[in-house]
Amino acid sequence: MWQKPICKMTRFNPQKIYAHLSYTIKELSELLAINEKTCLRWIDEGLRIVPDSKKPILITGSDAKEFIRKRNTKKKVKLNRSEFYCLKCRGPTRAKRGSIVIVGNMKKAICSVCNGKIRKMFKPYQKDYHIPSNPVQMSIFNTNLN
């Protein structure tokens, strides 16, 4: 059966794996929709297997979950407040001046380096509110009490 090739930046969902079960390479590959060679490559990269399991090779669910979580966190990019994630550069960049557009809970703009699309998700309470210049102070009391 032909499967769509997976790029290097794919993150896998560790919640599909039960921690208390053990899996063969074939079961793990079917569960995560990956090739069996990928599982063998992960074993070479440090995924622990059950000791003394030759055929079939067994992998505990808790070890697989831990390995995938570590693998996923390596690919996350931490952004500063003024940075966006560029889809072309594959990294944090700044936006071109005046190109920022807010759509729902996402800021979209144009990359200052490659002119590609950049974006950043934010929560409603993290919005940059416009602060008006010098507030006008009005007095409702008469200061002249003679």
* Domains defined along the chain, listed by start: 14-74 (1.10.10.10), 84-126 (no CATH)
Looking at the whole model, is its pTM more than 0.75?
no
* Residue pLDDT, tens place only, 69-115: 888 877 677 777 778 888 788 788 888 888 888 888 888 888 888 88
* Residue pLDDT, tens place only, 20-48: 889 999 999 898 888 899 899 999 988 89
pLDDT surpasses 60 at 4: no
Write out the DSSP string of 14-83: GGGS-TTSEEEHHHHHHHHT--HHHHHHHHHHT----TT--SS-EEEHHHHHHHHHHHHHHT-----TT-
SS3 (DSSP) at 29: helix
27 or 119, which is more confident?
Answer: 27
pLDDT surpasses 70 at 13: yes
Confidence bin at 5 (pLDDT 50/70/90): very low
